[in-house]
Amino acid sequence: MSIRMNHQKVNPQIFQTMMKLESFVKESGLDPKLYELIKLRASQINGCSYCIDMHAKEMQKSGESSIELYY
């Protein structure tokens, strides 16, 4: 599967800002499970099936059950 858009090439400044935000949130003390749930929900609201799939797979890799992801 090929990447639909390479965000880093399209707008490097926005990509760098996004990565800084990711680092900040990870260092903020926010529960990682909650953060992944937030990203999953934002993807659902945005209607991005690629992102929904990506975040759900990340959560499953970290040990979340399928039941928690579906409800």
Instruction: Kindly give the confidence (pLDDT) of every residue in the chain, 71 residues in length, as a single tens digit, with 9 standing for 90 and above.
Output: 566 677 778 888 988 998 899 899 989 999 988 898 899 999 999 898 888 998 999 888 888 877 666 65
Q: Does a structural domain hold residue 52?
A: yes
Residue 54 identity: M
Q: Looking at residue 10, what is its pLDDT?
A: 80
Identify whether 18 is part of a domain.
Answer: no
- 70 domain residue, yes or no: yes
Distance CA 17, CA 58 (A): 22
- Residue 3 gets the label, from left (phi > 0), alpha (psi -120 to 50) or beta, of beta
Element (H, E) at 3: none
Q: What pLDDT was estimated at residue 2?
A: 65
Structural domain contains residue 59: yes
- Domain assignment present for residue 64? The answer is yes
2 three-class SS: coil
